[in-house]
Amino acid sequence: MAYYVTALEELIDKFRTLPNIGAKTAQRLAFAVLKMSNAEAEGFAAALLRAKKDIHFCPVCQNLTDKDLCSICSNPKRDRSIICVVEGPSDVLAIEKTGKFNGLYHVLHGTISPMENVGPGDIKLKELIARLSDDAVKELIIATNPTVDGDTTAMYISRILKELDIVASRLAFGIPIGGDLEYSDSPTLSQALENRRVL
């Protein structure tokens, strides 16, 4: 039974297709749209269409871009000898924010996940392997997440690298800065112990 008017129910349904948006939240978001001014609502719709139309994958690093080549790949100041491999575009953002990395990226758009039937062919691994044939590449930082799937993917990539003259490294895992030993989960604490550093 339709309790709301059709146009509103349709909008609620559209919001529900977004990840982690349930019935209640979708309803709240749809009401917020109704409270917008006409100009705001039109701006929202236009932004949606423009993002969808303008944005595509960078042919080199597979990050999102609206140009032929993304702003990092096309930057002559970036170090082309080191590639940081990440799961998604938001990981690029997180690492860029540190300001500590001046190499290039490679965005996998996922991880190998046997449980969810995602194989090496389903993520942007071919594109990574193609890049490794460039002799300029000396090191690969595998920055996948410390999860089962992230570890599987890191392992898979490091095996490919064994046959090539490229150093593989992975991000350090341990107690987060500002964290508290008491509240650290034991896998993190084990990693922190294992990877302890001499002072």
Tokens of 79: 């170090």
Tokens of 145: 């997440």
Report the residue number, 43 or 114, with the smaller CB distance to a second copy.
43
Per CB under 8 A, the list member of 80, 81, 93, 164 interacting with a second copy is 93
Report the residue number, 55 or 167, with the smaller CB distance to a second copy.
55
Residues 195, 171: contact at Cβ < 8 Å?
Answer: no
Report the residue number, 116 or 134, with the smaller CB distance to a second copy.
116
Listed ranges 7-15, 125-133, 144-152, 159-167: which one lies at the site for a second copy (CB under 8 A) = 7-15
Which among 153, 166, 150, 171 is positioned nearest to 101, based on CA atoms? 171
SS3 167: strand
Cβ 71 to a second copy shortest distance, Å:
8
Stretch 168-187 residues interacting with a second copy (CB under 8 A):
none
Report the residue number, 16 or 138, with the smaller CB distance to a second copy.
16
Alpha carbon distance 120, 126 (integer Å): 8
Residues in contact with a second copy, shown as a per-residue x/- string from 10 to 49 under the rule CB under 8 A: xx-xx--xxxxx---x-xxxxxxxx-x-x-xxxxxxxxxx
Task: Verify binding: residue 66, a second copy, rule CB under 8 A.
Answer: yes
Which among 170, 153, 159 is positioned nearest to 118, based on CA atoms? 153
Number of residues located near a second copy, criterion CB under 8 A: 55
Per CB under 8 A, the list member of 65, 111, 144, 153 interacting with a second copy is 65
Q: What are the two backbone dihedrals, phi and then psi, of residue 124, each rounded to the nearest 5 degrees? A: -85, 55
Report the residue number, 31 or 148, with the smaller CB distance to a second copy.
31
Q: How far is CA 4 from CA 12, 28, 30, 51, 140, in A?
A: 10, 13, 12, 30, 54
Alpha carbon distance 170, 149 (integer Å): 15
The residues binding a second copy (CB under 8 A) are 3-8, 10-11, 13-14, 17-21, 25, 27-34, 36, 38, 40-55, 64-67, 70-71, 88-90, 92-93, 96-97
